[in-house]
Amino acid sequence: MRTRTLGLLAATLAGMTATVPAATAETAPAPPPTFAAAVLVDADTGHVLYAKAAHVLLRPASLTKTLTAMIAADWLPADAQVPVTAAAFNAYPDKVGMKPGQMWPLQIALHALITDSANDAAYALAVDVAGSLPAFGSIMDLAAAELQLPDHPVLHDPAGLDRSEGVDGGNFMSAWDLAITARDMMANPGLAAIAQEQTYDFEGPDHIAYHIVSRNLHFLRSYPGAIGVKTGFTDMAGYCDIEEADKGGRHMLAVVLQSDNPDAESATLLDAGFSIPVSRESAYPTLPPVRQPYPLPPPTTTTIKQTTRPRSRVAAGPDPAVSRGGGQGWLWIAGAALLVTATGEATRRWVRRRSPRGAHSRRRS
């Protein structure tokens, strides 16, 4: 598979080179790319059209927040109020301004996370989901398995901080895994809408008017059809980008890691992708189908007395009849209560998260 992929990559590189104008007296030849790793994906079909060092684990910086956003959106009710803990307040260094004891509406916290790339928002959401930052790392691992990330990412910090600033030294992810994660996040209409916003105004719980500007503003304004996604930077990760664009209803997504000019190199990749006809894509490797990252609760050895519903239904999630207010809902609630007692804080938060309602678009599966 790797040999075939390399051959396809060579062909794609030749195609990309052909899109660069020939040198003239007025035009200098295009410089070689500076990125350490990159992936280009047709987000509609999932075909990987270009890859360089795609399976090498590198520091992802704030690109991690694409995964944090999906987990928070899936685990917490839409009307959740996210408490701000001391851990969130002390997050380093970029913050939206959360203060201990405040309660931030989930939707505002998600805007702060994606648009402003606020580390305090990432930490507040993580603690609300899992009860602690280390526990959220375990949930990130489960979500990675659910998303079928193949390169075994190292996931500890919900904001993407590393070294001493990050939880347990921070994260490592491959460009391939980040492409899967970003494609899945952008298939969620609510999160995709946030990723596309250039600015966001809101009133905080302190009754102060906030105006945040997207960290991805330059790309959103400069690339025709840009609809997201996320930028990242730390001293160890360098400059990183995940960018997506829509041209004529066709969606292309680029991941660029450790680049000297990530916006320009993402634009070059996207241009090359749009130049490849869909009819030629069938020979290229394909990412896993889009799916929602619903991590399972921690395993328990406690015996739960069976009622009319098998135990596997409790482990799999809320029964549809309960969401519709079915008459037998009290049976599931009783079983869930026993499960909460048996497995502690993390399972309690799993049970209280919203049930799936088809919020994830399947247009890219």
CA atoms within a 13 Å half-sphere pointing along the CA-CB vector of 264: 9
Task: Identify the active-site residue in 52, 62, 214, 266.
Answer: 62
Domains and CATH numbers, the chain: 61-283 (3.40.710.10), 296-365 (no CATH)
CA atoms within a 13 Å half-sphere pointing along the CA-CB vector of 7: 5
Task: Identify the active-site residue in 52, 95, 117, 259.
Answer: 117
| pLDDT score, position 92 | 85
Residue 216: which residues within 8 A CB-CB, separation 6 or more? 195, 228, 229, 230, 231, 243
φ/ψ of 126, rounded to 5, equals: -65, -45
| pLDDT score, position 31 | 77
Low-confidence ranges of the chain (pLDDT < 70): 1-30, 292-365
- The CA distances from residue 112 to 1, 120, 140, 148, 202, in Å, are 40, 9, 20, 27, 10
| pLDDT score, position 364 | 32
| pLDDT score, position 163 | 87
- The CA distances from residue 38 to 55, 173, 180, 203, 242, in Å, are 10, 12, 13, 38, 10
> Among this protein's residues, is 62 annotated catalytic?
yes
Task: Identify the active-site residue in 65, 174, 230, 259.
Answer: 65
> Among this protein's residues, is 117 annotated catalytic?
yes
| pLDDT score, position 189 | 92
| pLDDT score, position 28 | 61
Phi-psi region of 46 (alpha: psi -120 to 50; beta: other; left: phi over 0): left
| pLDDT score, position 25 | 38
Using a 10 angstrom Cβ sphere, with 0-12 exposed, 13-18 middle and 19 or more buried, the burial of residue 290 is: buried
| pLDDT score, position 320 | 27
